[in-house]
Amino acid sequence: MAWAPPPLALRWSGPLCAGLSALVLAGAGTVAFGPVPGVAALAVLGFAANWGASWVSAVLSRPSPSPEAPAHRAPAEAPQAESRQDDPGAQEATGPATGHAAVPAEIPAEIQATLADHLAVYDRLFERAATDTASVTTETEAAAYDIMTSLREVDGAMSELLAFLDLSGSNTRVVEIVDQTDQQLTENRQLIGDFLVRRDEDVVTCRQRLDELDVATAQLTRATDGVQAIARQTNLLALNATIEAARAEKAGAGFAVVAREVKELSSASAGTATRIAQDLASLRVSIRENFASLVTDRVESERGELMKIASAIASLTENMERLVAHQRDTLVKVQEESARIAQPIVRLIGSIQFQDVTRQRLQHLEGIFAAARTHLHALDLSNPLTKSWPDARSFAEIALSEGPSPPRSAAKQNNDIELF
Amino acid sequence: MATTIMIVDDSPTMLMSIEGILSKAGLGVVKAASGEEAVTTLQGGTKPNLLITDLNMGAMNGIELIRRVRKLPGLQFIPILMLTTESQQDKRNEAKSAGATGWIVKPVDPDALLKVIRQLVPGA
């Protein structure tokens, strides 16, 4: 008796191809392909997943092939098959009850062509999916390598910066230099202060000397007063002598001449004493004026200039201290920020592992695509070499086999670490 | 003497990632891009304090590498960690039988990895 009529085969062909897609997609699980453009072909296969999901479940849940349940039969066909159990032709058409059931000898060419067309489309889809997946693997690996290289460069630069700061001891050295400078500035300020004190002492000494000189000139002035008193007494004595000489008349003529000379000497002494006193007074005034000009004014001027220098030194010291404080704060900030950035960099470096996880999952998918294509080729009834149906269960085991662990956030889950 | 960790992985990205984590922690790193390269390096006299290997690596997988390493003189007892995307128990058991010290599923948190290393290599 001839094999099942065309309508049965047509009902069978849809779930078969859809089921293959569903197997692949179900086996792929939920790999994170969102950002991956090359696997857009998988979305095309999605429509078949819904359609064929029930077929997959049936394939996996049904028992091993037996005479009562041929391995290759789709669920949609089951009721018809069961209704044909009494039909010996049906048993003949479905072949022996093994995992590789024989292909019926007589299948209409029209059905074969239809199935071949469907299978060819899915074969191309799987081929493209495999190609795109491989491309994605290559591209993401190259991108991850570039990211990793850049991260290492950033990390290296940060490490070099920190090493430089540690090795040069910039902070410590700057503090040392500024301390030395501050010490020198303090010493200079101390020298200025000491100098001013000494100048003040010099002024006091000069004033004392001047006072002593003043006393000495006063004594000299008093001495000239004595000279003038003697001159007055001498003049009075000369006057008395002149009177006495006049009373002696001719005998006193010579004495009168002497008395007149004494009087002139007395007048000359008094005049000389007066000039000396006047000169001493002028000298005292001149000394005091010159002292005020040479000592007092100049010392005050020097004090003013030195105070400006001292003030500038104090300002310089203050600015140096500010500079040091700023630089110290800057260095500390750089070190703190570098340390703070280092941890995220390590986490980023660790996160690149996701690329390897994704790569292995994609490679797992590539294996499933290859198995799917092999399975499709085995289903090609137009191939004269196709003598038996491929085993759907073995293919399902491949498609649904557990692949690499899914990508996950290492920071948000417990790490799967087991020590034996 | 600085602690040296050997990393074996056929993924250059993974090698760089793990190397980055370990070197940042001050650990010395020796890299190998395959099991064969690792064996050659070890036969050349390199004596790491700990070895981290991937499982799936082409010709020589991680388990075979462990078997080979355990036969090398002086390396029978070094800690060997399997760092892999696989998490199946049967594979863990196989690795344990081959001589693995531990099993870590990728991706691993850097701090967790360093903690395990320091646990296995005191002073690291």
Q: B13 and A148 in contact by Cβ < 8 A?
A: yes
What is the pLDDT confidence band of residue A155, given thresholds at 50, 70 and 90?
confident
Residues of B in contact with A420 (CB under 8 A): 96, 100-103
Give the residue-averaged pLDDT of B84-97: 90
Strands B102-105, A417-419: pairing kind: antiparallel
Q: Is the pLDDT of residue A295 over 80?
A: no
At residue B82, what are phi and psi to the nearest 5 degrees?
-90, 120
Q: A405 and B11 in contact by Cβ < 8 A?
A: no
Judge whether B64 lies within some domain: yes
Structural tokens at position B83: 């760092």
pLDDT recorded at residue B82: 95
Q: B116 and A148 in contact by Cβ < 8 A?
A: no
pLDDT recorded at residue A349: 85
Nearest CA to CA, how far is B78 from chain A (Å)? 14
Chain B residues 84-113 with CB within 8 Å of chain A: 84-88, 92, 96, 100-110, 112-113
What is the pLDDT confidence band of residue A307, given thresholds at 50, 70 and 90?
confident
What is the pLDDT confidence band of residue B5, given thresholds at 50, 70 and 90?
very high
Residue among A346, A411, A418 whose CB faces B103 most closely: A418
- How many structural domains compose chain B? 1
Element (H, E) at A220: helix A170-247
Cβ–Cβ under 8 Å, residues A13 and A115: yes
Residues of A in contact with B112 (CB under 8 A): 410, 415, 417
Most A CBs within 10 A among B27, B109, B120, hence the mutation to make, goes to: B109
Judge whether B68 lies within some domain: yes
- 3-state DSSP assignment of residue A246: helix
Give the least confident one: A161-170, A277-286, A406-415: A406-415
Residues of A in contact with B101 (CB under 8 A): 419-420
pLDDT recorded at residue A100: 59
Residues of B in contact with A402 (CB under 8 A): 88
Judge whether B1 lies within some domain: yes
Condensed to tens digits (0 to 9), the pLDDT of residues A371-404 reads: 888 888 888 766 777 667 778 888 888 888 777 7
- CATH (residue range A168-346): 1.10.287.950
Judge whether B28 lies within some domain: yes
Q: Is the pLDDT of residue A79 over 60?
A: no
pLDDT recorded at residue A57: 40
Give the residue-averaged pLDDT of A340-354: 84
Nearest CA to CA, how far is B46 from chain A (Å)? 24
| Cross-sheet strand order for the sheet of B50-53 | A417-419, B102-105, B80-84, B50-53, B4-8, B28-32
Q: What is d(CA B117, CA B50) in angstroms, rounded to the nearest whole number? A: 8
Q: B102 and A420 in contact by Cβ < 8 A?
A: yes
Residues of chain A with CATH 1.10.287.950: 168-346
Q: B107 and A351 in contact by Cβ < 8 A?
A: yes
Domain encompassing residue B28: 1-7+23-86+98-108
Q: Is the pLDDT of residue A248 over 60?
A: yes
Strands B80-84, B50-53: pairing kind: parallel
Cβ–Cβ under 8 Å, residues A129 and A419: no
Q: B101 and A141 in contact by Cβ < 8 A?
A: no
Q: What is d(CA A300, CA A270) in angstroms, rounded to the nearest whole number? A: 44
Say if B70 is an interface residue toward chain A (CB within 8 Å). no
Residues of A in contact with B17 (CB under 8 A): 148, 349-350, 352-353, 356
% of chain A at pLDDT higher than 90: 6
Residue among A350, A404, A408 whose CB faces B86 most closely: A404
Nearest CA to CA, how far is A18 from chain B (Å)? 29
Cβ–Cβ under 8 Å, residues A331 and A228: no
Rounded to 10 deg, the angle between the A109-168 and A40-61 helix axes is 120
Q: Is the pLDDT of residue A19 over 90?
A: no
Q: Is the pLDDT of residue A1 over 50?
A: no
pLDDT recorded at residue B78: 94
Winning range, highest mean pLDDT, from A173-177, A345-349, B23-27: B23-27
Closest-CA residue of A relative to B93 is A420
Quote the ipTM score. 0.87
Judge whether B72 lies within some domain: yes
pLDDT recorded at residue A289: 81
Q: What is d(CA B28, CA B49) in angstroms, rounded to the nearest whole number? A: 10
- What CATH number is given to the structural domain containing B78? 3.40.50.2300
Q: A415 and B105 in contact by Cβ < 8 A?
A: yes
pLDDT recorded at residue A168: 63
Closest CA to B62 of B102, B29, B34, B31: B34
Structural tokens at position A133: 């997946």
pLDDT recorded at residue A240: 92
Q: B13 and A151 in contact by Cβ < 8 A?
A: no
Residues of A in contact with B92 (CB under 8 A): 418
Residue among A144, A346, A361 whose CB faces B21 most closely: A346
The end-to-end CA distance of chain A, in Å, is 63
Condensed to tens digits (0 to 9), the pLDDT of residues B35-79 reads: 999 999 999 989 999 999 999 888 899 999 999 999 999 899 999
Most A CBs within 10 A among B11, B77, B81, B118, hence the mutation to make, goes to: B11
- 3-state DSSP assignment of residue B44: coil
Give the residue-averaged pLDDT of A97-108: 62
Nearest CA to CA, how far is B23 from chain A (Å)? 10
Q: Is the pLDDT of residue A62 over 70?
A: no
Q: Is the pLDDT of residue A410 over 60?
A: no
DSSP bridge partners of B31: B7
pLDDT recorded at residue A15: 45
Structural tokens at position A325: 């404080």
Strands A417-419, B4-8: pairing kind: unpaired
Greatest C-alpha distance within chain B: 38
At residue B56, what are phi and psi to the nearest 5 degrees?
-90, 110
Q: Is the pLDDT of residue A171 over 80?
A: no
pLDDT recorded at residue A288: 79
Nearest-5° Cα angle at A227, A222 to A231:
145
Judge whether B77 lies within some domain: yes
Residues of A in contact with B29 (CB under 8 A): none
pTM for the model: 0.59
Q: Is the pLDDT of residue A52 over 60?
A: no
Please, what's the b/e burial string for A300-335 (b: 16 or more CB within 10 A of its CB; e: otherwise)? eeebeebeeebeebeeebeebeeebeeebeeeeebe
Structural tokens at position A141: 């690996």
Closest CA to A371 of A404, A396, A388, A389: A396
> Is the CA virtual torsion B111, B114, B116, B118 positive or negative?
negative
pLDDT recorded at residue A285: 86
What is the pLDDT confidence band of residue A193, given thresholds at 50, 70 and 90?
confident
